[in-house]
Structure 1
Amino acid sequence: MAQTEVHTLRAGDGPVVAPTATVSVCYMGVDGRDGKVFDSSYQRGAAVDFPLDGVVPGFQKAIAGQKVGSTVGVAMSSADGYPDGEPRAGIQKGDSLVFAIKILSASS
């Protein structure tokens, strides 16, 4: 896939998430090449907190501008994910990634 696509699956009613916010999310990531789940906060049973300016570009594109409480689907190009791959996660160079992300909270 050439370009990252973001779809709001369910719109939340919280504040809009700033591009530099620190967010708390639950998510599941699937490798677009083979359909395997390579990461899931649901499987670990805990939300994940991180600053949006410290993650892969596709994650920032998916979350920034959305409202807290939203569930977002993102299909990210390799360039917005791991362009050189991420061997520990089984992601090969050029793989697109698909995430379902629920935005639980955000703080600036």
Structure 2
Amino acid sequence: MSETQKSKPEIEAPQSPAPEALEIVDLVEGDGAEATPGATVDVHYLGVDYDSGEEFDSSWGRGQSIQFPLQGLIQGWQDGIPGMKVGGRRQLTVPPQLAYGPAGSGHPLGGKTLIFVIDLLGVK
């Protein structure tokens, strides 16, 4: 685990309009195993609303990482995590169509662009 991955990330609320497409930015390049589309990943993550900067979910808040298969996640994660290497920290800015769908979809985060900072701790 890198020094960066020992602490919860902080996300500044963007000042620009939300992007229409998935944005992927590597904040720290990993040097371990690479995540593939069919992988099960072990991650720490923080999620905030693009417009308000309000945190809506964080594995850091629960004090433990979480492990899950990529296929079960929102499309933005399925598209944005493969290619990432263990030890890396990546920021994904996910538009509604790749997150929880349009406003009124029934999900509380429907219609929202979301920002996630993801630390990749392991790949299976």
Using the size of structure 2 for normalisation, the TM-score is 0.79
Partner of 2:79: helix, strand, or coil?
helix
Q: Work out which of the two has the higher radius of gyration on C-alpha atoms and give 1 or 2.
A: 2
Whole-Å Cα distance in 2 between the matches of residues 49 and 15 of structure 1?
15
Could you tell me whether the CA contact under 8 Å between 1:85 and 1:95 is conserved in 2?
no
Q: Does 1:98 align with 2:119?
A: no
Q: Which residue of 2 aligns with 1:86?
A: 107
Out of 31, 43, 60, the residue aligned to residue 25 of structure 1 is 43
Out of 68, 72, 76, the residue aligned to residue 90 of structure 2 is 72
- Residue identity opposite 1:37 in structure 2: E
Q: Which residue of 2 aligns with 1:62?
A: 80
The CA RMSD measured in Å over matched residues stands at 1.1
Whole-Å Cα distance in 2 between the matches of residues 14 and 85 of structure 1?
38
CA deviation after TM superposition for structure 1 residue 16, in Å: 1.2
Using the size of structure 1 for normalisation, the TM-score is 0.90
Q: Deviations over 1:36-68 (max 9, x none)?
A: 100000011010100001100111222111111
Q: Where is the strand percentage greater, Structure 1 or Structure 2? A: 1
Partner of 2:33: helix, strand, or coil?
coil
- Residue identity opposite 1:106 in structure 2: V
Instruction: Structure 2: give runs of 5+ residues left out of the alignment.
Output: 1-18
Q: Which has the higher contact order (CA 8 A, sep 6+)?
A: 1
Matched residue count = 103
CA deviation after TM superposition for structure 1 residue 15, in Å: 1.5
- Residue identity opposite 2:111 in structure 1: G
Partner of 2:117: helix, strand, or coil?
strand
Q: Percent identity?
A: 39
